[in-house]
């Protein structure tokens, strides 16, 4: 309460802004580490976060001496509080009068390039990943100090991206002002290629060499055979290294096994800390599912999660996809999930044959069937939403489950450019963050693609 009032008194926020954004915020509850307030809409919440979270965060910290997390609840009111005249508004506390002490923890902001749920809190530790997770936490506490660079390696779906983003999120939350850049190797390549084409290499250099405290590059095996980008990365590496800036890379194999890679770059990768992520054991798989069940406020029975943990051993992505499917199913049909339903629904996932050769053609067929359009629609030029949306989903799926490059995919979609493919995939990824129905839909499509075997 106090902090909000002070903001206005200290003219950090103008009266008009104050009236506009703070009179409809109400205090709901607080715990040791969190304050929950209500706001009238998602839009409102986003606006407040974008505009004022930094100031609020500082103010709360200043007043309480602690870092508190600010959480928002959407409460739709039929009656909207209309701001009164300025003098009156000034005397009216914006939080409710309950008189509870507001305790302040970490105010949650989100970094534009990082997924909010990829945090250490959500990263379950088992003996398969303990070393890597501890190293990552060490880096987050002291970026640039000891483990530089850090290389996280492991197979598909083992948690590389999650762990790397946890480092970024943790630093972002705890160390104000540190500039964190997360980028996939693929995007790095295409940005660099574009910079060369446009003659804007200097801006590119500036962006990655001079303007970064923590550089996170995902899936660096994608740099293979990209000679000039490797050169650029080599120089970026040296500049950041000399300036004691933290670098973290993920990769799908130990650097010694990289092919078509400049030796000088390989040796740079190897000179820091290399940690690996192994497949989780049964207990860890179960713990991951329980955590997910809790986070999504669903109540899948424990015995069902045990069943999944026993049967899905390949990787964590598949493990989570199985639970996602059941959660979606429970919501759709309004039924509680029993062992029997789970067995039935996950039959295919449980007996997943070794991945057959999946062709672009097959994915196009299945996606177009599902959306009731034709494969030619997917490849064609039409840009109506009925077509573009399935087209984007289709590209995304191919990207997820096959090894085709974006260039190859583009060719199979009527000769589209690889950047179009990348943007489409990005679109879908972004959309998944706001549309919770999209991920189950995509998962189901992927399952059908896999179920279709070799035909
Ligand atoms: P990779 O980058 O290695 O392919 P991801 O980081 O994308 O794998 O992880 C795949 C999925 O598994 C993500 O949903 C991620 O949140 C989840 N995951 C991976 N490791 C863990 C873990 N230790 N605890 C909880 N979830 C995990
Ligand atoms: Mg990844």
Q: What's the CA gap between 143 and 122, in Å, rounded?
A: 21
Pick the atom of ligand 1 nearest to 124's CA.
24
Which residues contribute to the annotated binding site? 157, 159-161
Q: Is 159 in the pocket of ligand 1 (CB under 6 A)?
A: yes
pLDDT of residue 46: 67
Spacing, Cα 99 to ligand 2 middle (Å): 46
Q: Which atom of ligand 1 is nearest to the CA of 156?
A: 4
Spatial separation of the C-alpha atoms in residues 5 and 93, rounded to whole Å: 7
pLDDT at 24: 67
Which ligand 1 atom is the nearest neighbour of the CA of 118? 16
Residue located via tokens 């030619």 = 376
Which residues are CB-contacts of 394 (< 8 A; sequence separation ≥ 6)?
Answer: 363, 364, 367, 368, 378, 413
For atom 25 of ligand 1, the residue with the nearest CA is 123
- Ligand 1 contacts CB of residue 272 (under 6 A): no
**pLDDT score recorded for residue 308:** 96
C-alpha of residue 287 to centroid of ligand 1, in Å: 13
Ligand 1 within 6 A of 161 CB?
A: yes
| Ligand 1 pocket, residue 154 CB under 6 Å | yes
Question: Measured from the CB, is residue 127 less than 6 Å from ligand 1?
Answer: no
**Could you give the CA distance from residue 397 to residue 446 in angstroms, rounded to a whole number?**
7
Q: Which atom of ligand 1 is nearest to the CA of 164?
A: 6
Closest C-alpha to ligand 1, atom 20: 159
Give me the tens of pLDDT residue by residue for the chain, a chain 455 residues long: 666 666 666 666 666 566 666 766 777 777 777 777 777 666 567 667 766 777 777 777 777 777 777 888 776 543 333 343 333 334 433 443 343 333 343 446 789 999 999 999 999 999 999 999 999 999 999 999 889 999 999 989 999 999 999 999 999 999 988 999 999 999 999 999 999 999 999 999 999 999 899 999 999 999 999 999 999 999 999 999 999 999 999 999 888 888 889 999 999 998 899 999 999 999 999 999 999 999 988 889 999 999 999 999 889 999 999 999 999 888 888 889 999 999 989 988 887 554 557 889 999 999 999 888 999 999 999 999 899 999 999 999 999 888 788 999 999 999 999 999 999 999 999 998 888 788 888 888 888 887 755 44
Judged by its nearest atom, the ligand closest to the C-alpha of residue 128 is 1
Ordered strands of the 273-277 beta sheet: 180-184, 214-218, 246-251, 150-154, 273-277
Q: Of the bound ligands, which one is closest to the alpha carbon of residue 288? A: 1
- Residue bearing the CA closest to ligand 1, atom 13: 317
> Separation of 156 CA from ligand 1 center, angstroms?
9
User: 129: Cβ below 6 Å to ligand 1?
Assistant: yes
Among the bound ligands, name the one nearest to the CA of residue 184.
2
Centre of ligand 1 to C-alpha 239, Å, is: 31
pLDDT at residue 328, rounded to an integer: 87
CA pair distance 172, 108, nearest whole angstrom: 10
Q: Kindly list the structural domains of the chain, giving each domain's residue range(s) and its CATH number in brackets, ordered by start.
A: 2-91 (3.30.300.180), 130-277 (3.40.50.300), 282-350 (1.10.8.60), 360-451 (1.10.1750.10)
Residue nearest to ligand 1 atom 4, measured at CA: 157
> Looking at residue 161, what is its pLDDT?
97
Q: If 0-12 CB within 10 Å is exposed, 13-18 middle and 19+ buried, where does residue 395 land?
A: buried
Angle, CA of 376, 380 and 382, to the nearest 5°: 120
Among 317, 401, 446, residue to substitute to test ligand 1 (most atoms within 8 Å of Cβ)? 317
């Amino acid at each position: 309460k106090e902090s909000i009032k002070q903001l206005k008194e200290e003219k950090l926020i103008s009266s008009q802004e104050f009236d506009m954004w703070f009179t409809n915020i109400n205090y709901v509850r607080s715990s040791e580490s969190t304050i929950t307030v209500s706001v009238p809409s998602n839009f409102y919440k986003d606006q407040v976060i974008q505009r004022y979270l930094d100031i609020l965060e500082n103010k709360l910290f200043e007043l309480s001496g602690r870092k508190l997390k600010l959480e928002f609840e959407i409460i739709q009111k039929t009656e909207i509080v209309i701001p009164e005249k300025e003098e009156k508004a000034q005397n009216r506390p914006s939080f409710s009068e309950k008189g509870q002490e507001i305790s302040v923890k970490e105010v949650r902001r989100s970094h534009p390039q990082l997924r909010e749920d990829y945090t250490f809190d959500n990263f379950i530790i088992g003996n398969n990943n303990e070393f890597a997770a501890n190293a990552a936490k060490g880096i987050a506490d002291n970026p640039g100090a000891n483990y530089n660079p850090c290389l996280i390696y492991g197979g598909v779906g083992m948690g590389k991206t999650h762990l790397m983003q946890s480092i970024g999120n943790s630093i972002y939350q705890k160390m104000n002002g540190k500039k964190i850049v997360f980028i996939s190797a693929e995007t790095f390549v295409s940005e660099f290629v574009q910079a060369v084409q446009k003659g804007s290499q200097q801006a590119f250099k500036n962006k990655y060499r001079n303007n970064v405290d923590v550089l996170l590059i995902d899936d660096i095996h994608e740099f293979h055979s990209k000679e000039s980008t490797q050169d650029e990365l080599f120089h970026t590496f040296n500049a950041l290294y000399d300036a004691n800036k933290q670098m973290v890379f993920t990769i799908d194999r130990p650097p010694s096994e990289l092919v078509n890679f400049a030796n000088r770059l390989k040796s740079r990768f190897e000179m820091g800390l290399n940690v690996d992520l192994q497949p989780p054991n049964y207990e860890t798989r179960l713990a991951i599912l329980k955590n997910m069940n809790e986070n999504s406020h669903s109540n899948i029975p424990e015995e069902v999660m045990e069943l999944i943990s026993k049967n899905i051993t390949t990787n964590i992505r598949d493990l989570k996809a199985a639970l996602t499917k059941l959660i979606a199913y429970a919501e759709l049909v309004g039924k509680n999930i029993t062992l029997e339903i789970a067995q039935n629904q996950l039959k295919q996932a449980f007996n997943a044959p070794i991945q057959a050769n999946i062709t672009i053609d097959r994915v196009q067929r299945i996606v177009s069937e599902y959306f009731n359009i034709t494969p030619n629609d997917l490849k064609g030029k039409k840009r109506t939403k009925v077509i573009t949306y399935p087209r984007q989903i289709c590209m995304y799926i191919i990207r997820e489950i096959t090894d085709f490059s974006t260039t190859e995919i583009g060719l199979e979609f009527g000769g589209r450019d690889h950047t179009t493919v990348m943007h489409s995939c990005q679109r879908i990824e972004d959309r998944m963050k706001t549309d919770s129905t999209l991920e189950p839909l995509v998962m189901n499509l992927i399952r059908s693609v896999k179920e279709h075997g070799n035909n």
